[in-house]
Structure 1
Amino acid sequence: MKTLLYVLYGGKSVEHEISLKSAYTVMQSIDESKFDLYPIYITRSGCWFSRGKLSGKTFLPGDLILEAAEEEPAGTIGRILTELFTLEGPKVVLPILHGSNGEDGTIQGMLELLNVPYVGNGVLASALTLDKALAKEVLASGGLPQAGYRTFPYRNWSEDRDHVISLIEGNIGFPCYVKPGSLGSSIGISRCERREELEIAIEEAYRYDGKIVVEKEVRGREIQVAVMGNEYPLVSLPGEFIQDKTFFDYNAKYIDGRLSMSIPAEIPDILVNRIRQMAEQAYLALNCSGLARVDIFLDAEGALYVNEVNALPGFTAFSMYPVMWERTHGTSYSELIEKLIDYAFNRHADKQRLQYTKE
């Protein structure tokens, strides 16, 4: 019997378009001899729609967006769960939902209630990794080095802007980066070299979140490492994007098309080992499972700093995560998806052993 694979994509998030790009590539790679594919599109308002089982791979990226009259999200979710999730056979969910309401533990909590296996991190790890401020606190408690940073809830800014600016100038300095507290894909992030830029950047970041993180710039290289697995994770060779911009922004990641990958990154072996160990340590510290990408700064003196852990790295044609596994173990894109599905089933099976009564 084939496995029923539900791919959730789109989502109520500013990273909606990134989800479409990732989901398209993922669905093109599914082995239809092993899986019955059920794409489920989530609109920007949170409604769920599906055309049922997808047969063949002749669809185009634009076909992923389903046009339908908007309804109350609860009604559409209930309809999908009743019509699709009650089908007989082994089931697994692949949530390709970047950012809010998908990468933050929200959808993971729902899938836990449904008691269905799903690919990727659980509720806690998803919530932690998307919340940059809380993730930094956990990483710091694990002894992992990070660049200097400060966190500011919106009330600090609304009550005393000058005080926030003074704290940033005195404790972080310039250049610095201003980021929304919970978001990815470099959306809402700005690099600042002076006070005038800082004020604009803070306002921009607060558009996307009620909390911001301001970080000291580390002059050097950003190295990326792919990690996958549950209790005993595997760690890829490190890679990096070669680019001519100081700041690796949204356009550089998804639009310009001028990025080139260096995998493995040209780094001395002793640093490669340290980077891979640090990536595994960060993965475990944040209770990750399934997959994550760990980004690490390497400065000119050879010092390493964890930048962030991305619980749902992109799977687009320009994404580093799948390519790092191909260069590390020769793992193809399709094989990678199946490995991640296996991890989902293994984690789900482990949870079924838990007891929920006192007897």
Structure 2
Amino acid sequence: MKDKIRLGIIYGGKTSEHEVSLSTALSIMKAVDLDKYEVQPIYVQMDGTWVKGETITKELPGNVHSLRLGVQHSASPSQSKAEEKTALLEKNQPRSGKPANVMSINQEVDVIFPVIHGPNGEDGTVQGMLELAGIPYVGTGVMASAVGMDKWMMKNVFAQAGLEQVQYVGFLRSQIERNVEQVMDQIEEKLGYPCFVKPANMGSSVGISKAKDRDELKEALAIAGKFDRRIIVEEFIKAREVEIGVLGNEEIITSAIGEVIAAKEFYDYEAKYKGGGTELQIPAMLPDGVKERIEEMAKLAFQAIDGSGLSRVDFFYDETNDRVVINEVNTMPGFTPFSMYPMLFAEAGIPYEELIDRLVQLGLERFEEKQKNIVAAEELD
């Protein structure tokens, strides 16, 4: 019998999206094919400490609701779903686990599935560490991860690729602190109101505000500045928000297209992860020609950042002007069975468990492809 693939899952992280990562990791651990894989949980605590839990070789109980390094705490039958969610996200220290030697993980796993969302995980930092350690991993590489995380740089790459996007301006936090009035004058002159203010390096809509006047703009700039030193401001367009998944390395496929129907003014963190009446329409009701344009633009965006593995690409569809505008690419989207990316591929005929397996295989294939590169001059002889 062939040995199982040792799959490490890195989750948690020093990020505002720590809780989202916990949910993603738990979902993957409960769904992975344990006839094919044995799972090594690697938890990055909020203080940056890396610790390992017990290797998972058998199915987790269905009522597991708190996971720290493979430590399971069973819920009583009387616990409500809200209590279970609170327990899952609580910030207690693990009851077991040992410090992880980051650079020796390659001796203990065959491939890593990194599911740290946001800065210090999705931005190329963890990917760079895994490259240095020579460990295959799921998802985009260092450059693609960094570009996909940085909205300012992403927009520059999209512009070079000829992808249509909304008008925007970018500022450093220091510029805003020195002369916020001048910055707001520039925003009003180029974009007007309403407009969206975003930290360049942040995910899950954290730190994003919609400003309708100068007072709200000033407050929005201050909020965004708490999360990053680089800030972008985008024009508002009245449009439908649609999203599509991309899967593959050099040969890529796209998923069904979904639409976000936000109950609030925009799809913020609260709407994404805490409900609030937001609806997801899968598949989105769009004309065939529009679907084809979105599919092709998603592939082009993925290739423009040199993506691999997975990404979710978000668009605006302006029905009045029949205009498709790219918003952003997310290289590590939410990955629970009820997150948009897995649901889009489920609609396309690839269920959650199979999607996990495909992504792991793509990570291994990408690693093998990279081994063909010559790294030293003497190898030319």
Determine if the TM-score, normalized by the shorter chain, exceeds 0.5.
yes
Would you say 1:242 and 2:261 are equivalent positions? yes
When residues 357 and 246 of structure 1 are mapped into structure 2, their CA distance, relative to the original with a 3 A threshold, is same
Would you say 1:284 and 2:310 are equivalent positions? no
Residue of structure 1 equivalent to 2:116: 97
Amino acid at match of 1:312: M
Aligned pairs (5 A) from 1:175-324: 175-256=194-275, 258-299=277-318, 300-324=320-344
Residue of structure 1 equivalent to 2:34: 32
Matched residues in 2 for 1:151 and 1:296: separation? 20
Residue of structure 2 equivalent to 1:67: 93
SS in 2 for 1:236: strand
SS in 2 for 1:179: strand
SS in 1 for 2:377: coil
Match of 1:57 among 51, 57, 60: 60
Matched residues in 2 for 1:157 and 1:216: separation? 18
* Aligned partners of 2:44 and 2:51 also within 8 Å: yes
* Aligned partners of 2:137 and 2:360 also within 8 Å: yes
Amino acid at match of 1:56: E
Amino acid at match of 1:60: V
Q: CA deviation at 1:306?
A: 0.6
Aligned pairs (5 A) from 1:91-170: 91-170=110-189
Amino acid at match of 2:203: G
Normalized against structure 1, the TM-score is what?
0.94
Which one is further off, 280-289 or 244-253?
Answer: 244-253
Q: CA deviation at 1:257?
A: 5.5
* Aligned partners of 1:20 and 1:61 also within 8 Å: no
SS in 2 for 1:264: coil
| CA RMSD, Structure 1 to Structure 2 (Å) | 1.7
Matched residues in 1 for 2:24 and 2:94: separation? 22
Q: CA deviation at 1:68?
A: 5.5
Q: CA deviation at 1:81?
A: 4.8
SS in 1 for 2:341: helix
Would you say 1:13 and 2:33 are equivalent positions? no
- After superposition, what is the alpha-carbon deviation per residue over 1:297-321, rounded to whole angstroms, capped at 9, x for unaligned? 1113110111000000101344110
Amino acid at match of 2:224: A
Q: CA deviation at 1:183?
A: 0.5
Amino acid at match of 1:30: V
Match of 1:86 among 103, 107, 113: 107
When residues 171 and 316 of structure 1 are mapped into structure 2, their CA distance, relative to the original with a 3 A threshold, is same
Any stretches of 5+ residues in structure 2 without a counterpart? 69-90
When residues 168 and 290 of structure 1 are mapped into structure 2, their CA distance, relative to the original with a 3 A threshold, is same
Which one is further off, 240-249 or 229-238?
Answer: 240-249
Q: Percent identity?
A: 40
SS in 2 for 1:237: strand
Q: CA deviation at 1:246?
A: 1.9
Q: CA deviation at 1:52?
A: 2.4
Residue of structure 2 equivalent to 1:172: 191
* Aligned partners of 2:245 and 2:344 also within 8 Å: yes
SS in 2 for 1:341: helix
Normalized against structure 2, the TM-score is what?
0.88
* Aligned partners of 2:170 and 2:231 also within 8 Å: yes
Q: CA deviation at 1:353?
A: 1.1
SS in 2 for 1:297: strand
Q: CA deviation at 1:263?
A: 1.6
Matched residues in 1 for 2:126 and 2:150: separation? 16
Residue of structure 2 equivalent to 1:72: none
* Aligned partners of 2:166 and 2:235 also within 8 Å: yes
Matched residues in 2 for 1:277 and 1:239: separation? 15
- After superposition, what is the alpha-carbon deviation per residue over 1:241-273, rounded to whole angstroms, capped at 9, x for unaligned? 223222111111100253332122100001110
Amino acid at match of 1:20: L
Residue of structure 1 equivalent to 2:83: none
Q: CA deviation at 1:354?
A: 1.1
